Amino acid sequence: MRLDPVDDQLLRALIIDPRASFRQLGAALGAADRTIARRYSALQAKWGLRISANTDGGVLAGERWYARLRCAPGSAMRVAAALAKRTGTSWVALIAGGTEIVASIHLRSATEAGHLFMRDFPRTPQVRDVTAQRELRRFARSSLPYFLDRYSSADESLTADQVAVMRPALEGDEPGPPAAVDPLDEAIVALLRLDGRMPLQKIARKLLVSPSTAERRLRRLRSSGNLTFDVDLRPSAAKELMLTAVWMTVAPDRLEVTGQTLVSFPEVVFAAATTGRTNLCAAVLTSDERSFYSFLTETVGTVAGIRDIETAPCLLEIESSAAAER
């Protein structure tokens, strides 16, 4: 399985501006906008292409938590399916023989986190134990480098001229300090978490505002740094690959450099520093268990500062509400 050169360059162009129009993308890649639209739809269907809003670091950031739930035998699938439907859940997977769940959950406040971890989970009889770790610093968030490295048929990097064509599609506003937000801003971001390329007309229609108001708010959110976009491919889109969750304990004075070192490896599609007994978590993509063993012993094993490590293969990913509603 190989990425077509046009698809390869389309992905690279979307990294520059995830909300660029098909006409803008076509101009950069030398293709008709209808061809780009068709290629984009094919990437969604075959590769699980996802573009979604990211508010980390802005005034809309909220809190990102990573939960690990140990369930009663035979109940994990039902609990995972219910968790995946919850607003704010971005990723859910079964690990450890199918009796444990790992999930990434965005929560708006400490109060909401308290309700989830101290009220909702304890009241769920199938849940035997819960470990919750709050994200402190995210180092990487995309599987794109791995797929581009593994499936590109050649070096399809964009030329300087192609990059220049893409640049005007960005806001063009000078970056400024994070601006105050209101309920309309929050509603726009909520829709863009479901579909980062949702058209302005659709946003306006859903929120009962004019398209010009939606466009102005979106430009302000992006230029102020409150809103960026993630471009990602679902690891399960390539069924032959092995996705493994990794938890590490790292010396505090080595945490930043260790996180940065890990994300320099294309196999590491996600890494974040967290609270908890372990303080660095990651997701690793490899072709099979032998490749993962080599990566673990020959690559991770050489990184200074890692004191302890735990691994668990992800047996099944559960589609979240954000992905299901696209």
Give the Cα separation of 204 and 188 in Å (integer).
9
pLDDT of residue 93 exceeding 80, the answer is: yes
pTM of the model: 0.80
Position 264 in a domain: yes
Q: Strand 89-95 vs strand 127-140: parallel, antiparallel, or unpaired?
A: unpaired
What integer best gives the mean pLDDT of the chain? 87
Residues 229-253 have pLDDT tens digits of 888 887 555 667 899 999 999 999 9
Position 267 in a domain: yes
Position 23 in a domain: no
pLDDT of residue 306 exceeding 90, the answer is: yes
Position 188 in a domain: no
Closest CA to 166 of 28, 21, 19, 37: 28
| Contact (Cβ atoms closer than 8 angstroms) between residue 284 and residue 268 | yes
pLDDT of residue 326 exceeding 80, the answer is: no
Q: Report which DSSP code applies to 117.
A: I
Confidence of residue 170 (pLDDT cuts 50, 70, 90): very low
Position 297 in a domain: yes
Q: What is the CATH number of the domain that holds 265?
A: 3.30.70.920
Tokens of 68: 């690990």
Q: Sign of torsion, CA 287 289 291 297?
A: positive
Residues 97-108 have pLDDT tens digits of 889 999 999 888
Domain extent for 263: 139-149+240-314
Q: Sign of torsion, CA 14 65 320 284?
A: positive
Non-local CB neighbours of 114 within 8 Å, separated by 6+ positions? none
| Contact (Cβ atoms closer than 8 angstroms) between residue 235 and residue 323 | no
| Contact (Cβ atoms closer than 8 angstroms) between residue 134 and residue 65 | yes
Angle between helices 5-16 and 22-29 (to 10 degrees): 120
Confidence of residue 5 (pLDDT cuts 50, 70, 90): confident
Position 186 in a domain: no
Residues 187-202 have pLDDT tens digits of 999 899 889 999 999 9
**The length of the chain, given as a count of residues:** 326
Tokens 């092995």, residue? 242
Q: How many domains does the chain have?
A: 1
- Phi and psi dihedrals of 206, rounded to 5? -65, -35
Residues 15-33 have pLDDT tens digits of 889 999 999 999 999 999 9
Position 292 in a domain: yes
Position 145 in a domain: yes
Within the chain, how many helices (H) and strands (E) appear? 13, 10
Give the Cα separation of 223 and 217 in Å (integer).
10
